[in-house]
Amino acid sequence: MLYVIGLGPGSKEMMSYEAVEAIEKCDVIVGYTTYVRIIKEMLTDQEVVSTGMKREIDRCEKAIEIALTGKTVGVISSGDAGIYGMAGLILELVGNHEKDLEVKVIPGVTASIGGAALLGAPIMHDFCHISLSDLLTPWEVIEKRLHAAASSDFVICLYNPRSKGRPDNLAKALSIISEYKSTETLVGIAKDVGRKKEQAIVTTINELDEELVDMTTIVIVGNKETYLAKGKMITPRGYSL
């Protein structure tokens, strides 16, 4: 049995009961070192197999190999494992494998939802997720989606908005978005959601300080009705008040 477990943004409080129960049932936990640290205090006698970043395929193959010996294995992902997480890769590898293996994906709170709750209610109307990482996706595909989403006034949640290796992708994305949305459009920045140093900042496309944005950040660009009231970023659903 292989569980793919979404840990949520980063505190036990934001994990689901079934995620914690799945961890308790596991003989072996497989995950990126940072995520293993998050659940460390929950572990009893589970064996831990942790690896560094960018070793996703190795990590998933290892997890499948151990699960096929009959052990219960949990692969952990931050946020939700089915959103830019490990669920897809595990299911792809299991799908290709000559042997069958039962996989259960345990959903979690993804960064946009955790960040939105901290900012107020910015994703109350139609929204999309676009990852700005072009490691696995051609930049032209990302650009096409930015054009489409901005031109039809979706609220846009930018995942992987800015890293050392890709310092300019956020600026490029905001420049495309500004072809359609006013530069006065509100932008919410949520950092380290669910951790002690969590931070919510509401600014505009124009005023955004890129230095605030790194890979632990989710950036949410509002639609044309998004506004600020008593410090909260709100995208109205459309009720007449």
Q: Which of residues 94-123 bind its own copies (CB under 8 A)?
A: 94-96, 100, 103, 105-110, 113-114, 116-118, 120-123
Label residue 147 exposed, middle or buried (CB < 10 Å: 0-12, 13-18, 19+).
Answer: middle
Of the candidates 82, 161, 188, 222, which one interacts with its own copies according to CB under 8 A?
A: 82
Quick one: CA dihedral 189, 175, 223, 139, positive or negative?
negative
Least gap, CB of 186 to its own copies (angstroms): 13
Instruction: Please report whether residue 166 would count as binding its own copies according to CB under 8 A.
Output: no
The conformation of residue 92, written as its DSSP 8-state character, comes to: H
Smaller CB distance to its own copies: residue 47 or 182? 182
Q: What is the dihedral of CA 100, 104, 110, 113, to 10 degrees?
A: 140
Least gap, CB of 127 to its own copies (angstroms): 6
SS3 state at 5: strand
Label residue 60 exposed, middle or buried (CB < 10 Å: 0-12, 13-18, 19+).
Answer: buried
**Under a CB-based contact definition with an 8 Å cutoff, are residues 171 and 163 in contact?**
no
Of the candidates 36, 43, 128, 212, which one interacts with its own copies according to CB under 8 A?
A: 128
Smaller CB distance to its own copies: residue 27 or 153? 153
Smaller CB distance to its own copies: residue 131 or 169? 131
Least gap, CB of 48 to its own copies (angstroms): 22
From CA 209, how far away is CA 171, in angstroms rounded?
Answer: 10
Least gap, CB of 165 to its own copies (angstroms): 16
From CA 204, how far away is CA 174, in angstroms rounded?
Answer: 11
Instruction: Please report whether residue 130 would count as binding its own copies according to CB under 8 A.
Output: yes
The conformation of residue 82, written as its DSSP 8-state character, comes to: T
**Under a CB-based contact definition with an 8 Å cutoff, are residues 121 and 234 in contact?**
yes
SS3 state at 38: helix
Least gap, CB of 157 to its own copies (angstroms): 10
Q: Which of residues 26-65 bind its own copies (CB under 8 A)?
A: 56-57
Least gap, CB of 30 to its own copies (angstroms): 16
The piece of 11-19, 23-31, 40-48, 197-205 that touches its own copies (CB under 8 A) is 11-19
Of the candidates 67, 89, 176, 189, which one interacts with its own copies according to CB under 8 A?
A: 89
Instruction: Please report whether residue 131 would count as binding its own copies according to CB under 8 A.
Output: yes
